[in-house]
Amino acid sequence: MSARGEICGCFPTGRHYAGIAHLLRLRVLGAADEVPADAAWADQLVVCIDTETTGRDPAVDRIVEIGLIVGRGGEIVARHGWLVNPERAIPEEVSKIHGITDDAVRDQPPFRDLVKPVLLALEGALPVAYNARFDRAFLHEEMRRAGVEVGPSGPPALRTSVDWIDPLVWARLLHKEEKSRALGDVAARLGVALDNAHRATDDAEAALRVLYAFGLDPRVPRAYGSLVQEQRRLARQQEEEARAWRDRS
């Protein structure tokens, strides 16, 4: 694992300074500061986030449902879910995917009215999402619209410096011989129930259970810092392979 230790910005390592080694803290790029790099990630408070939306572009599309499933130690400890009025029409072709219609959200609160309970559910938890780039982009954009700072402070899920744990990256490694790494297919192979696919709380719970199942595989690091670093490496490798495949097509 590539990382750096810091003592007041003075020494890169405490190897030769036994008397101050206890002051060192390993810092890993992409990791949340409040969790030690060598701590077991599965023992930490995590929140799995899933969004259903009006489309695929966070700059113009909006969230219509958000699910937040909180876990610790392999167990689900809290479930939160809200339908959201996107204040714009939901395209018919999108409604056919998640089943959420204009009528279903007409009397629901807009996202700005849900900021407080969403922030409360995110507080202190490591963020997780299946295909995290999608949900992260939508959550951050909705928070910005609501006037919430997305940057170096706040819950880990809203810090631009913190990587979200993404079970999809690990599915592409652990299930690389399988034709599909879609959440429903991965969940089915692992024996994880997903009875109501494409609904936010159901997808979020299945994704978190998939992550916990992956955590039992020896190829998945147990230490939080190692997990973040290896996920970064795998994601870069997977992006390069996908780019090379597109170039050949």
Q: For residue range 55-73, list pLDDT tens digits in order.
A: 999 999 999 999 999 999 9
Measured CA to CA, the distance from residue 122 to residue 224 in angstroms comes to 18
* 107 and 83 Cβ atoms separated by less than 8 Å: no
Domains of the chain: 1-30 (no CATH), 40-248 (3.30.420.10)
Residue 13 is predicted with a pLDDT of 44
3-state secondary structure 27-64: ECCCCCCCCCCCCEHHHCCEEEEEEEECCCCCCCCCEE
Tell which residue, 231, 216, 233, has the closest CA to residue 163. 231
pLDDT digits (tens, 9 = 90+) for 101-127: 999 999 999 999 999 999 999 999 999
- Beta strands 126-128 and 46-53 are parallel
For 178-235, write each residue's pLDDT tens digit: 999 999 999 999 999 999 999 999 999 999 999 999 999 999 999 999 999 999 999 9
CB 136 within 8 A of CB 164: yes
Classify burial at 218, counting beta carbons within 10 Å of its beta carbon; exposed 0-12, middle 13-18, buried 19 or more: exposed
